[in-house]
Structure 1
Amino acid sequence: MQVAIIGAGAAGLSIALALHSRGIQCTIYESREAPHRGMGALMLAPNALRILDSLGLYQQLRSRGFNFSTVEFRDQHDTVNDTWQMGNQDQYGYDALRITRPAFLDVLRAAVEERCIKVKYAARYSHIVEERQKGVTFQLGDGTRIEADILVGADGVYSDVRRSIAPTVEPIYSGSLALLATIRRRFANEAASTTIKPPQTTFYYGQSNALLVLPQEHDGSQACLGTQRKYSEQSREDWVHLGYDKDKLYDLFMQDTSEWPQRVQDAMAQIDKDNIYIWPFYTLPDLPSWTSLPHRRTILIGDSSSSIPPTGGQGACQAIETAYTLAMVISTISKTPNLPADSYTTSIASWQSARQERVQKAKLFTTQLDNNRLPPAERAKLPAGTYWEAGQHPDLSWLYGAGLATKGVTRVEVQKNRGAVTRVRAATVDEIYGMNENLQNLPRVGTGDGVKGAC
């Protein structure tokens, strides 16, 4: 089995490492000429950290990011109105982790290099030449043609691979622009620093504005300040130009900030214009299929197949889950002899259905969390079930628990059929598949009669 992966971002590196852990050969093709470290940071919850731990990456990541369990919701008077649990060592085995994107990618790339996984840079994907029942041929920009058993598109929200599955689908601008800045969590006024502590992991909500404060180094010495503004859509080139206009970004960031409490204003006073960057929010329409039809040899994962707003920290987490579960299905199929001809397509179809169901649930969770930050008068206009009242904390074991979900997780069963042939079936299940006693490793998929592999 040979898998080709387009894109060397978080999703592409994750599936490469997951495939390698199961003995599946893969090659990553990246259009950039050298590794790209990216900007910003990720919020990783227990559901993703458990997978990364099973791949031997958690301890390195943990030492490079800020570990925490709750986020505070504060109003403009600095009053705590609610807290939200993003992780919990005792309950789920892991606290949440806030880590810069460059640090996250550095750890994954180091593991890819250490494990001798092939990465080819300056290898821009062009198009699919032919897809067959048992393989796919695709072409790079320089004319090189490559044969693979499976092609995985992990090339982001502007995916080129997606054209072969959903040629008319384009990212949709949400109308909102995120402005983010990194600061050192200290005060210029030494007297103030002894009496006013800098904000912790906090969402501040005012009458017309919102601000987040998220530490993201291991000792909390660096923090990200973030806010959101309505902004007209720009071309990709103009977004780049706006990103370099630091004076304009600073003015946008500082609009309507007088309502914030003093310690927030002290923190904002430390913003360096050069450390401000933007994130225009783009979403994808729900795709009917993440895989090519009828053979399903081309598969989309991560932002190329779905997009989740960042509020709940589940965008990267769901991409990592998708990568790991797909690797599990591919591994089980590849290691099972004498499969019927339709086993691959039916298993991938069932995997896709399970993942789409879980991603939709994660999207609803994010919408509810997003709506919690609205002013009470606006929130009261929303339909029931689209937000939570303060202190009304739902059970999140389906999301964070030891098992990827109570429903919508993918199970692959390998069974003998009347003693003659072996069939692989992927299905959604209601059981929670647990971890071993020390919560360090996910169960592995085996092969043979009656073996069940769970993610």
Structure 2
Amino acid sequence: MTSQFHVAIIGAGLVGLKMALALHVHSIKCTVYEQAASTGGRFAGAVMLSPDSLRILDKYGAYAQLREQVYNFPAVKIRDAEGEPEDSCFYLGSRELFGYDALRAYRNVILKVLSTACAERRIDVVSGKKFSEILLSEDDDGQEDDGVHFKFQDGTMAHADILVAADGIHIKIRTVLFPQFRPEYNGVLVVCGAVKASSLNGAGGGGADGNDGLDTVAILEGRNGAGAFLLGPQLSDASELLAGTQRPFLPQTREEWARLSADQDFHLDFLREGYENRVPIVQRAVDNIVLGSTYIWPLQTLPKLERWWSSSSKNLDGSNGEGGGTANDSGGGGRVILMGDAAHAMPPTSSQGANQAFEDGWMLARVLKAVFTFDNVGSHAGSDARGSKVVKSSIEVDERLRKSLQTWHARRQDRIDRILQLTQQMHNLRLPIEEQRKLNDGEIYRSLARFQQARAGHRHEHEHDGVEHDEEAYFKMAVLEQWAWLYCPDDLVEDFQGKTDSDDNADGGL
């Protein structure tokens, strides 16, 4: 049975549509509003999805369909400046260990699967609706109305009990709540393009001269100051790969960024820099970039927000230019909620931006289900309670929502902070090798260090008793120890074992 309260979502991208599916699983009615005329062709580029978000996608019944259309792989391999595999890799998934291999896919492929799933479930997605402003609305008796009234640029208006902002780092709603916080360019520019796998075949013989080892995503180090280069399949048959690199780049004006974005010659020159200090397979990739496939990505982050929701009962925290109250405010609020890049944008080097946004959505749906359907209000908030003006019930719902969002945010923020640390370590792994050597322990990503220690200890302990060491078992143990926190968090796993509707879990777990 679908709940009587209603959620509006701004943005029909990957995050917004997955949020809609999460609400549907929890029997919550929603409408998704998209500013573009249609969701088709909304995004370029590819993303990588790991077991934490794939487990959620599987719950929606959309994982199997997506898996058949995209590239499946377990880990990012790392090659040294001579093209030889290092004793290191970055696990993004493992069907054996985490239940799912990682997926790499163009955003539009994922978007089509999610759009189809929403259509099959009769979830309303309204195109051509660009958000304009949040309105202050009162009922006939001059009392503040429950929920959120908002307006679009075409002049039409809408109302929902909850408004979720899920349209990325530049979404306007965040500037309403936090006008003092803007996206910040972090000084690193990424340039990427596509290359056909057939153009990478060299003379053979293995190593980086052949095409061996590129059956998965690979980071290839450069020499003499050249940073790492990324090659990664992004079609299901691995016939096409992403080719890209990053390096420090001066800030630009909005107009200059727009010019560079359209300048294909600049893109190719950027990719070609350091050409002579790269292994042959990277050189071949640079020589054979598919014309028109390149794009730039100036990396941006957000300052840490004190909360991800409106604290004012009028949901207009920042309208006076001061940003509104604090996370500990009492009373109303919480009816406008940020998620994904709108709340905690992160660089792509750990491949967790989209995955964490999907986790946000699943856990937020649990929060809303618990808050708006608990027995003590006597009726669904925002419907019968509002219509009969049972003010006590409405206040009780707002207070419960505020407390639940505080706990949800605290747990999610702890997880985001840990992932940001991993992201910085992965970023440092892409620095020129000369720069990497200047870093301290813990500042750069290291793979499975405990595996080497355990293997050495086992060999020493049993070197005279004839007991053979099981390297595969130690390896699996080390992978689980390093990555289980990210790909199989206890809260999420327990959630899928049947605890989604427990009132004790109203704080939203992760």
1:347 is matched with which residue? 404
2:7 aligns with 3
Q: 1:125 aligns with which of 118, 125, 131?
A: 131
For residues 98 and 187 of structure 2, the distance between their equivalents in structure 1, rounded to whole angstroms, comes to: 36
Q: How far is the alpha carbon of 1:60 from its aligned partner?
A: 1.3
Q: 1:169 aligns with which of 155, 161, 181?
A: 181
> Deviations for 1:228-254, whole angstroms, at most 9, x for unmatched residues?
133333344433332221122111211
Alignment counterpart, residue 197 of structure 1, candidates 198, 202, 211: 211
Give 1:425's aligned residue.
Answer: none
Match of residue 329 from structure 1: 367
> 1:67 and 1:279 mapped to 2: Cα distance?
24
- Structure 1 counterpart of 2:131, one-letter code: Y
Q: Is this contact kept in 2: 1:126–1:141, CA < 8 A? A: yes
Contact 1:247–1:273 (8 Å) recurs in 2: no
Alignment of 1:52-201 (within 5 A): 52-81=57-86, 82-130=88-136, 134-187=146-199, 196-197=210-211, 199=214, 200-201=216-217
Structure 1 pair 189–235 and aligned structure 2 pair: CA distance change class (3 A): same
Paired with 1:227 and 1:377, the residues of 2 have a C-alpha distance of: 17
Distance 1:90 1:260 in 2: 34
Q: Where in structure 2 are the equivalents of 1:285-364 lying within 5 Å?
A: 285-294=303-312, 295-339=333-377, 340-341=396-397, 342-364=399-421
Distance 1:112 1:355 in 2: 26
- Map of 1:421-440 to 2, 5 A cutoff? 433-434=493-494
TM-score, normalised by the number of residues in structure 2: 0.77
Deviates more, 1:312-321 or 1:338-347: 338-347
Structure 1 counterpart of 2:294, one-letter code:
I
Larger Rg: 2
* 1:239 aligned onto 2:235: no
| RMSD (Å) for aligned C-alpha atoms | 2.5
* Count of residue correspondences: 423
Contact 2:200 2:211 (8 Å CA) reproduced: no
Match of 1:29 among 20, 27, 33: 33
Q: CA deviation at 1:447?
A: 5.3
1:211 to 2:229 alignment: yes
> Do the aligned partners of 1:178 and 1:280 also contact (CA within 8 Å) in 2?
yes
Asked if 1:399 is matched to 2:399, the reply is no
TM-score scaled by length of structure 1: 0.86
| Contact 1:181–1:225 (Cα < 8 Å) also in 2 | yes
Decide whether aligned partners of structure 1 residues 351 and 188 sit closer, same or farther in structure 2, where only a CA change above 3 A counts: closer
Q: 2:443 aligns with which of 354, 365, 386?
A: 386
One-letter amino acid of the counterpart of residue 446, structure 1 = D
Give the Cα separation in 2 of the matches to 1:185 and 1:353.
Answer: 44
Alpha-carbon distance in structure 2 between the residues aligned to 1:390 and 1:196: 25
CA contact (8 A) 1:445 1:453 kept: no
CA–CA distance in structure 2, aligned partners of residues 205 and 51 of structure 1: 34
Higher helix fraction (1 or 2):
2
**For residues 236 and 442 of structure 1, do their structure 2 counterparts lie closer, same or farther at Cα, with a shift above 3 Å needed?**
farther
Question: Secondary structure of the residue that 1:318 maps to in structure 2?
Answer: helix
Please tell me whether the aligned partners of residues 446 and 453 of structure 1 are also in contact (alpha carbons under 8 angstroms).
Answer: no
1:446 matches 2:464: no
Separation in 2, partners of 1:20, 1:251: 47
User: Identity over the aligned pairs, expressed in percent?
Assistant: 36
Bigger strand fraction? 1
Distance 2:360 2:415 in 1: 10
Unaligned runs of 5+ in 2: 138-143, 313-332, 378-395, 451-480
Q: Which position in structure 1 is the counterpart of 2:17?
A: 13
Structure 1 regions of 5+ residues with no counterpart? Answer: 410-431, 436-440
